Structure 1
C-alpha cells in the first residue's frame, strides 16, 4: 500500500486543465499546399490555374522532353549516369513502366528520376496550382483608385465563375496592401469590394480554403484591424463567423522581434483572434530592411536562416503553417521568336536553354534546402517554376522512403524501448516524427495513402489517425 494525498476531485481538476490545452489555431492536421503562386489581380481569370499548368508543360516539353533530360536539368542524384539520347531515354522509360526484369535492372537513380518525372507531368495536367493568391500588392502596384476598384470587382467575378466551373485550385485568396498609414484605407476598401462582389456573384459562398494575406506586418494592431474588418464583413455578408482566414507575411525585423527584444510572432498570431492560418517569409523585403544590399539578398543568406528559425521556434505546435519565400532568379528565356519573324538562331536557342535550366537548378536547390529545414511550402512566381517545385518535393520524400519506412516498422515493433536500426539510434520521441514523414509525403502528393500504407505496414485508418502513440496503444492490446 502506498500513501497518496491527491483527492479524486483535485486529480480530476488537474487532468481537465491539461486536456483543455491551448485554443486551437491554424489548420493543424489539414492538407498544407506545397506552394503559393502569386499573380497580379489585374491578370486573374477563372481559368488562370489551368493556363499556368499549360505553360509549365510547354516549358518542360521544350527543355526536358524525357525523364533523363529533366533529371539532369534540375540536378537529381545520379542524373549524370542516365541516357543522353532521347530515344534511349524513352526506351528505358518504357522498360520501367512495363515492370518485370527490365525494370528491376534499372538503376536506383533511373527509377527515382522516372517516378519524379511521371508525377510532375501528372500533377501539371491534373492540378497545376495548389494555392493561388490574387495579388493587390507588389504584383499589382500602385494604380488610380477607380482602376483598383474595377479590378477588385472583376477578379471577384472571375473567382465566382471559377467556383461554378470547378476550376479553382484547392486553396485561394487575395493579398491586400499593407495596413500602414499610407495604404490602410485603400487596402480595406479593396478587401470590401472584392468580398462584396464575390458574395453577390457566387450566391453567398466563398471558395474553400479562402484566405487574406496581410503583407509587411509590423505591429499586432495591424492584424487586429484586419480581424475587425473581417468580423464586420462576415456579419454584413452573412458569412459564417471566422470563416475567412488570415495569413501573415513576415517581411520586416519588427515581425520577428518586438521593440523590447521579445519574439513578436506569437503576439501577431494572437491578434488575429483564431484566424491566423499561416506565416509567409518575405526574404527580399526582410533582407532589405536589414540593409543588406541587393546583390547579397537571397534565400540562403544567414539573416534569412535566422528569421526562418525564429518563425519555427515561435510557432511550433501552434498549427500555423510556415512558408518560405521566392527564388530571385526566374526560369525565363531571354529570346522569343516573333510570329512571322525569323526563327531563333542556334545560339539563341542555347541561351534560352541555359537560362531556364540554370534557374531550374537554383530553384531546385532552394526548395530542397527549405524542405531539409522543415519548410514544406514556398512561393512560386512564374509557371515555369512549377515543375521544379513539384520535382524537388517529390524527390525529397521518395529518396527517403526506404530508410524511413524501415525505421518506422522497426520502431513500431519495439515501441516499448529505444532501438537501433542499422546505424541510426531511435528514441521514443522519434516515432511520431517518422510517422509525420509519411503524412507529409501524402499531403504533398509524393505518394498516395495506399502506397504509404504498403511501405509502412500501417492501415489507412492508422495513417489518418496521425498519432504514433495511438498506433502503438492499439497494437499493444
Structure 2
C-alpha cells in the first residue's frame, strides 16, 4: 500500500482540526439529558403560599372532573384518536371503563380506547401526585408595579413561604422567582427584591436553597444585563456563604431586539455567553413579543406566525447548546363565565362550552409547541393544568410505538458500531432518541418498563446518557 501524504504534516493538520472540533463540541454539547419540566406556572408573589402547588392540583382535578367526568367526554372534546368509536351512554362508558381497568397495560394497547383511557387516567394521577412541575414566584407582570414598601414586605413573606414549603415538602420539583427587568427604570427594584428574597430565604433555611432553584430575568435585550446579574450572584453567594456558581438564572425572549439586534444579527448566543454558564433556559413571552411586533391585543396568541418565527430563530441560535427552551402561555382561561350554586341549565351549558373551547385552544397550542420541539410552556391558572398534561401525554403516547422501533433499531446498530470505535457520532444521535423517552418518563407519560422495550436495561436508562450506554456495552 502506498501513501502520498507525509505522516508528520498530516498528524499536525489533524491535531489542529481536533482542537477546533473540541471547541465546537464545548459550545454545542447537545441536548441535556437532565429533567426539563413540561411547564412553568407563573403566579403573583403576593398570592404565593407554601401549599400553593398542592391547592392548584386540587382545583385542577375538580375542574377536570366537572367538565370531563370520564375519559370518553375528554376524548370527544379534544377529538383524540379513536373518539368517534367510543360509547355514548353512561352505562356503556362505565362498562368499558371497568373492562379497561381489569386489563394489564400491555393488553389495553390493543383496544381502540387505549389512548383516550390512558391520557385521562395519567392526568388524574399526575394532578394527585405532582400537579405542578415548575413554579415561578412572580414579582413582574403577575405582581405589577406597587409601592416599594409593599414589594419589600411581599419579598420577605414569599421567601418565608418558600422556606416553609421546603420544610413541609410541598414545593414543586422546580421553583424560582421572576424579578423585575434590568431596564433603566426598574433595575434598582429588581436588584432589591432579589436581595431581600434570597437573604430572607437563606436566613430561614440555614443557607439552603430549594432543589432546582432559578432566578428569571425578564425583558433581556443586551448582554450587559446578564453580566450584571452574574456579578450580583457572585456578591450574594459570598455574602451568604454559598458555593461559587450556586445561583442559576433564566432569560426571556420577549422583544424583537433579542431576535435581531441593531446590526442585523441574532444576539441570543452572546446573551447566553454573558451569563458565564449560569443561564439554563430561555422562556418565550408570547404577549410581550407580539406587542413588540405591533400585533394588536385581539391577535396576540401563541398561534400567530410571528411567534413561530421567533421560536425557530431561537432554536437556530441556541440549538445544541443544552439551553432549555420554553414556549409561552395560552391566555384564554378554562373558567366558566357563571359562578354560584344555583345556576340554570342554560348557564351550566354556557360554562361547559366556554371551558371546552378553552381546553381545545390550550391543547392545540401545546401540541403545536411539542411538534416544533418546544417541550415546555407557561401556565397561568390551575384550570390550565389538565390540558397541559393532556396534550403532553397524547403527544408522547401516540408516538411511542414508532419511537420504540427507531431507538431499538439504533441500539442494535450502535452495538455493532462500537466495535469499530465509532462512538461519538452514535452517542450524539442516540441521545436525541433517548431524550424522547426521558422526557416522556419525567412527566409521567410512560414508565421505565416501557422504555425497556427499546432494548435498553433499566440501569442503562438511569445513566441518562447514550454515550455512557455505548461505553458500557463496548466494555462488555
Per-residue deviation at 1:8?
7.2
Residues 366 and 417 from structure 1, CA distance in 2 versus in 1: closer, same or farther, beyond 3 angstroms? farther
Counterpart for residue 166 of structure 1: 169
Counterpart for residue 42 of structure 1: 46
2:58 is the counterpart of 1:54: yes
SS of equivalent residue, structure 1 residue 180: coil
- Of residues 453, 460, 466 in structure 2, which corresponds to 1:462? 460
CA contact (8 A) 1:247 1:277 kept: yes
Counterpart for residue 385 of structure 1: 384
SS of equivalent residue, structure 1 residue 386: helix
CA contact (8 A) 1:25 1:277 kept: no
Residues 4 and 304 from structure 1, CA distance in 2 versus in 1: closer, same or farther, beyond 3 angstroms? same
Counterpart for residue 177 of structure 1: 180
- Of residues 70, 76, 84 in structure 2, which corresponds to 1:72? 76
Counterpart for residue 202 of structure 2: 199
Residues 19 and 278 from structure 1, CA distance in 2 versus in 1: closer, same or farther, beyond 3 angstroms? same
SS of equivalent residue, structure 1 residue 22: helix
- Of residues 265, 272, 277 in structure 2, which corresponds to 1:262? 265
- Structure 2 unaligned segments of length 5 or more: list them: 418-425
Counterpart for residue 422 of structure 2: none
SS of equivalent residue, structure 2 residue 204: helix
Aligned positions of 1:300-315 closer than 5 A: 300-315=303-318
Aligned positions of 1:319-338 closer than 5 A: 319-337=322-340
Please, which moves more after superposition, 289-298 or 204-213? 289-298
Counterpart for residue 360 of structure 1: 359
Please, which moves more after superposition, 167-176 or 289-298? 289-298
Counterpart for residue 376 of structure 1: 375
Residues 357 and 238 from structure 1, CA distance in 2 versus in 1: closer, same or farther, beyond 3 angstroms? same
CA contact (8 A) 1:223 1:268 kept: yes
CA contact (8 A) 1:216 1:250 kept: yes
2:264 is the counterpart of 1:272: no
Per-residue deviation at 1:104?
5.5
Counterpart for residue 89 of structure 2: 85
Per-residue deviation at 1:469?
5.8
Please, which moves more after superposition, 433-442 or 361-370? 433-442
Residues in 2 aligned to 1:102 and 1:410: alpha-carbon distance in whole angstroms: 21
CA contact (8 A) 1:299 1:366 kept: yes
Deviations 1:141-183 (A, max 9, x none): 1111101100000000000000011111100000001111111
- Of residues 206, 212, 225 in structure 2, which corresponds to 1:222? 225
CA contact (8 A) 1:136 1:176 kept: yes
SS of equivalent residue, structure 1 residue 279: strand
Alignment: residue pair count = 463
SS of equivalent residue, structure 2 residue 347: helix
Residues in 1 aligned to 2:28 and 2:402: alpha-carbon distance in whole angstroms: 34
Residues in 2 aligned to 1:475 and 1:417: alpha-carbon distance in whole angstroms: 10
Counterpart for residue 420 of structure 2: none
Residues 265 and 202 from structure 1, CA distance in 2 versus in 1: closer, same or farther, beyond 3 angstroms? same
Residues in 2 aligned to 1:75 and 1:135: alpha-carbon distance in whole angstroms: 35
Deviations 1:371-390 (A, max 9, x none): 00000000000101101101
Counterpart for residue 439 of structure 1: 438
CA contact (8 A) 2:108 2:114 kept: no
Residues 203 and 295 from structure 1, CA distance in 2 versus in 1: closer, same or farther, beyond 3 angstroms? same
Per-residue deviation at 1:140?
0.5
CA contact (8 A) 1:96 1:102 kept: no
Residues in 2 aligned to 1:273 and 1:105: alpha-carbon distance in whole angstroms: 47
Per-residue deviation at 1:391?
1.2
- Structure 1 unaligned segments of length 5 or more: list them: 419-426
- Of residues 230, 234, 254 in structure 2, which corresponds to 1:231? 234
Residues in 1 aligned to 2:253 and 2:109: alpha-carbon distance in whole angstroms: 48
Per-residue deviation at 1:26?
11
Residues 247 and 102 from structure 1, CA distance in 2 versus in 1: closer, same or farther, beyond 3 angstroms? closer
SS of equivalent residue, structure 1 residue 304: helix
Residues 106 and 371 from structure 1, CA distance in 2 versus in 1: closer, same or farther, beyond 3 angstroms? same
Per-residue deviation at 1:288?
0.7
Residues 169 and 473 from structure 1, CA distance in 2 versus in 1: closer, same or farther, beyond 3 angstroms? closer
Residues 46 and 25 from structure 1, CA distance in 2 versus in 1: closer, same or farther, beyond 3 angstroms? farther
Counterpart for residue 113 of structure 1: 116
Per-residue deviation at 1:92?
1.0
Deviations 1:410-467 (A, max 9, x none): 333345899xxxxxxxx998644433322221223211222211x2121123323445
Residues in 2 aligned to 1:100 and 1:194: alpha-carbon distance in whole angstroms: 49
Deviations 1:208-254 (A, max 9, x none): 11111111111111111112111111110111211111110110011
Per-residue deviation at 1:82?
1.5
CA contact (8 A) 1:24 1:274 kept: no
CA contact (8 A) 1:255 1:265 kept: yes
SS of equivalent residue, structure 1 residue 164: helix
Residues 414 and 8 from structure 1, CA distance in 2 versus in 1: closer, same or farther, beyond 3 angstroms? closer
Residues 19 and 86 from structure 1, CA distance in 2 versus in 1: closer, same or farther, beyond 3 angstroms? same
Per-residue deviation at 1:4?
1.9
Residues in 1 aligned to 2:106 and 2:427: alpha-carbon distance in whole angstroms: 41
2:104 is the counterpart of 1:94: no
